[in-house]
Structure 1
Amino acid sequence: MCGRYSLYTHISHPEDFEERFGLPAGELPPFPAGYNIGPYRDVPVIFQTPGEGVRMRLMQWQLVPAFAKEFKSQYAMFNSRAETITSKPFWQRLLQNARCIFPANNFFEWAAVEGQKVPHKFYLPEQRLLAFGGLYSVWRHPESGEERYSASIITVPANPLVAAVHPRMPLILPREIEQNWLDPAERSFERLQQWLQSFPGNDMGDVEVSPRLNNIKNDDSSLIEPLAS
């Protein structure tokens, strides 16, 4: 699964978003630097709809189906397994029609060590910005017509580096397919399936970080620093 991540370079390096996604700094939604971002809150998500350019807006990190009677989910749908989205019709439709990207700087997983939860930060040493592949949904209020957006991060089997800590990891998109992933004209199910791959572990870094990360209420830059040995 992927239940925590960080996003802060939209504040310190907004030019990354323009270079990668054509999103000028003035078009980024207001969102404070987050070092311990968890599900069920509104987070920045990048997406594209037919006839429009790439956009970024806040979406709830917990997918609510468009057919839901209320804007809430009975299930933990902040993650969606690659194996499920290619086999169930509901998820297949989203995969072909409603893909998105969660921008992030790193993600966290926990190792079990002598009965304790030990957090690890996974990141890309050569890139400040990661692109998690996701799916989104637009729910409309049955009376007012108000639109509410929500999204889910796709998970894949962990590569060997992450598997030493946790069996799953977020889908990290290689830079060369980011634009194709967002392109609503891309509907080839076979090609989309090919993109649901684990990012190579030898291109990633892993450091143990502070156990303060275990408390979702803690959110400061010290949480992403390597734990002193």
Structure 2
Amino acid sequence: MCFSVQIDKNIKNLAKRFHSEVDVASFHQLKNMRNYASSLENEKLKSIMGLKRKPKTELFKTPEDDGRVYPGYFAPVITASEKGRTILPMRYRVRPNGSDEEIPSKYNVFNARVDSLEKRQTWSNLFMRNHGIFPFIKFFEWVEHKGRKELINFSPDEYEVMWAPCLWDFWRSSDEKIFFHSFALITDEPPKEIEERGHDRCPIFLKEEHIDSWLRPKERSRQEIYSLLRNIHDVHYSYEWAS
């Protein structure tokens, strides 16, 4: 599991770094969705969003001041477009297309295990169809340390930013007034230095030369796509205790 991440909030920097165009309209739409949702009474919002309980916080959160993104927050994701690559905001937690109710928070639909991409329906509906790249600086995990749970963060040596392949979906409410993209990043077994710190998963760090192939799965076979997910950057991860 990847508990949370820290991103570069400067969209222009990301666009330049990843040779992408920014979907400005999508970022404006996110702001409009945020304003619309905040204007609704709780019962109306619950009905539209398919929530069983009153939301504890606002539903269209954006990254914290320090760039931290938690499940349920919106963050920039790179997808394929006719012109090349596009950056648009997506929620870090998948909301399946056509779902009447929000998936309960006890279920992890923000990290997709690479060995479950075709075994779990949430992922199999998106694998080989809706692929993206999620860039971030570091990721945070809770691990056992000195007899208690402590928060640790990992970042790759020699890279200012890393990127993980992800799967995305698009959801629209029945009244068509609320709509958004959402995603889950893909994880695999961890390298030795992360395992030694007490964690059993790590986001896949796809090789940069394979980004466009990953983003256009319809042009590849399943075997080729799985090969990309195995052919990752050979990096060492440094860590810091965050709590």
1:69 to partner: Cα distance: 1.2
The percentage of aligned residue pairs carrying the same residue is 23
Give yes or no for contact 1:63–1:78 (8 Å, CA) kept in 2: yes
Residue equivalent to 1:6: 6
Q: Is 1:195 aligned with 2:195? A: no
2:92 to 61, 78, 82: 61
Write out aligned runs for 1:1-229 (5 A): 1-8=1-8, 10-11=9-10, 14-15=12-13, 17-23=15-21, 29=27, 33-49=65-81, 51=82, 53-70=84-101, 72-74=102-104, 75-88=107-120, 90-144=122-176, 146-165=178-197, 166-197=199-230, 199=232, 203-211=235-243
Distance in 1 of aligned mates of 2:220 and 2:173: 28
Q: What SS is found at the alignment partner of 2:210?
A: helix
CA 87–194 in structure 1, closer or farther in 2 if over 3 Å, else same:
farther
Q: Per-residue displacement from partner, 1:54-85 (whole Å, max 9, x unpaired)?
A: 21121111101112014x22332011111111
TM-score by length of 2: 0.73
Q: Which amino acid aligns with 1:177?
A: H
Against the structure 1 CA distance between its residues 129 and 97, is the aligned structure 2 distance closer, same or farther, given a 3 Å change threshold? same
Task: Give the counterpart letter for 1:69 in structure 2.
Answer: D
Rounded to whole Å, the distance in 2 between the matches of 1:66 and 1:57 is 18
TM-score (norm 1): 0.77
Alpha carbons of structure 1 residues 25 and 134: separation in structure 2 relative to 1, 3 Å: closer
Please provide the CA RMSD for this pair.
2.8
Listed as ranges, the gaps of 5+ residues in structure 1 are 212-229
Provide the rounded CA distance (Å) in 2 between the counterparts of 1:113 and 1:193: 34
In the TM superposition, residue 16 of structure 1 has moved relative to its aligned partner by 5.0
Long gaps (5+) in structure 2: 29-61
Aligned residues: 206
The answer on whether the counterparts of 1:82 and 1:156 sit within 8 Å (CA) in structure 2 is yes
Give 1:184 shift.
Answer: 5.0
Task: Please give the alpha-carbon distance, in whole angstroms, between the structure 1 residues aligned to 2:236 and 2:25.
Answer: 30
What amino acid is the match of 1:48? A
